[in-house]
Amino acid sequence: MPARKEILQVAGRKVTITNPDKVFFPGLGRTKLDLVRYYLAVAGGALRGVSGRPMALKRFVNGIEGEAFYQKRAPESRPEWIETVELKFPSGRTAHEIVVRDAAQLAWVVNLGCIDLHPHPVRADDLLHPDELRVDLDPIPGVGWPQVREVAMVVREVLTDFGLTGWPKTSGSRGFHIFCRIERRWTFTQVRRAALALAREVERRAPDLATSRWWKEERHGVFVDYNQNAKDRTTASAYSLRPTPDARVSMPLYWHEVPDCEPEAFTIDTAVSRYAELGDPAAGIDDAVGSLEPLLDLAKQQKAAGLDDEPARPPGRIAAAPAPPGKTSGATGRRRSSMPLIEIARAASRDEAMAGLERWKQRHPDVWPLLGPADVLVDSMRGRSSTWTRIRLNLRNVPEHQRPPQEELEVDFDPWKGLQR
């Protein structure tokens, strides 16, 4: 018996929804067709975030409990009305990525199993000059949501002082986003430099709340992640559903809502009625285009004061612990942390990595109680087409004589196995 399909009439086109009854959010019983209907109900706002932008596809073909994979290249089998644009990557490779402009194309993308939407900060007609500055607030473990909101308000103050209008939204996860439209005059490198200057200014104004430190083990509070402005980075856009058990939404807010907002209030069950009642808080974003010149001037002042343009590769680091057997100290092999780090696991899945951490805990019962939430560094790492998980421990709060040495990894997954490096 052939699988059931449903044909929707959207924006004057027929959109086929395959396996419409497949459950994507088991705890809620929400199906693929529910996802499509959600996006069509908020299409005006969702399209404002993605329209005309190349989009990386993050596909959950078996729902949130299945493994997701990234697909940069547009599927070869697609309707003639699906637009693409060719992107070139630093590796020299190219890919034709999907460009969404209307609700029919949006529904078609969701039918592929895309729960959230990941557009680039450029438009398809000019891939070299971003039109969006993205501020991503990422709290370290143990930092509460009220502190994230406080930092968001500091970011707004800094943006205003430097001539930019920020448009806030929850990330739908632990963090918070503030996007700004900018003139299409600057390269990715310049936009990232401006974002770094902004992050440092936020840290200067709220040193106890925020950090611009790149290395995870050196952070405190809320990290102002300027690297979301690097080329080829994508971020969940406005009204994106997120792969959480309660189907949270990356929800645009009015600024007066930010000091009291709670991320769990915005889900697939509440977003549609909110959108119908209040409209889109980001409706004016395309009319508020600003200049990066003031932030770039600030970057020059910071550099003159001795701050490096590129803190991601500081010189002179000394390794406090050897790398795991057969491993380099990092992606480039050039940087070793000044913190006493040990690595516990590299795993294909988070669950597998956490199981490895649990085994380590059982073997070191005297050390584990000395570690704080921020000392357990769980990183979601991008592989060739999917993510993998790395776990490291920062032993800075463990007396030196009690620090376990670097041991064989509890889980030793190589995401690049079989590839020439």
Report the pLDDT averaged over residues 240-246. 96
pLDDT(380) > 90: no
- Residue count of the chain, please give it: 421
Check residue 331 and give its pLDDT.
39
Nearest-angstrom CA–CA distance, 300 and 420: 40
Nearest-angstrom CA–CA distance, 313 and 337: 11
DSSP letter string, 274-292: HHHHH--TTTTGGG-EE-S
Nearest-angstrom CA–CA distance, 190 and 309: 10
| Helix-then-strand count for the chain, H and E | 8, 19
**Could you give the residue ranges of the DSSP H alpha helices within 31-130?**
32-41, 43-50, 103-111
357 or 312: which leads in pLDDT? 357
Nearest-angstrom CA–CA distance, 304 and 302: 5
The domains of the chain are located at 1-127, 128-312, 317-421
Beta strands in 200-340 (DSSP E): 210-211, 222-225, 289-290
Please give the helix or strand (H or E) that residue 132 lies within, else none: strand 132-139
Residue 376: pLDDT band by 50, 70, 90 thresholds? confident
One fold for 1-127 and 128-312: yes
Reported as a single tens digit per residue, the pLDDT across 304-329 is 999 876 654 433 333 333 344 444 44
User: Which residues, including other chains, have CB under 8 Å from residue 24's CB and lie 6 or more apart?
Assistant: 30, 31, 32, 34, 35, 60, 63, 64, 113, 115
Phi-psi sector, 247: left (phi>0), alpha (psi -120 to 50), beta:
left
Identify which of 41, 12, 18, 31 has the alpha carbon closest to the alpha carbon of residue 280. Answer: 41
> Long-range contact list for 265-269, CB < 8 A, 24+ apart?
266/170, 266/172, 268/25, 268/28, 268/30, 268/34, 268/35, 268/38, 268/241, 269/28
Query: Looking at the domain that runs over 128-312, which CATH code has it been given?
Result: 3.90.920.10
What φ, ψ does residue 168 adopt, rounded to 5°? -85, 150
Q: How far apart are the first and last CA of the chain?
A: 46
Beta strands in 154-253 (DSSP E): 167-170, 176-182, 210-211, 222-225
Check residue 385 and give its pLDDT.
61
pTM (2 decimals)?
Answer: 0.81
Nearest-angstrom CA–CA distance, 250 and 288: 21
Nearest-angstrom CA–CA distance, 50 and 224: 23
Report the pLDDT averaged over residues 191-211. 97
Distances, alpha carbon 268 to alpha carbons 240, 250, 271, 350, in Å:
10, 10, 6, 25
What does the block give as tokens for 7? Answer: 């044909």
Residue 336: pLDDT band by 50, 70, 90 thresholds? low
Nearest-angstrom CA–CA distance, 219 and 226: 14
The secondary structure of the chain in percent helix, strand, coil, rounded to multiples of 5, reads 30, 25, 45
Nearest-angstrom CA–CA distance, 107 and 114: 10
- What is the architecture of the domain spanning 1-127? Alpha-Beta Complex (3.90)
Reported as a single tens digit per residue, the pLDDT across 391-405 is 998 988 888 888 988
Neighbours of 178 (CB within 10 A): 24
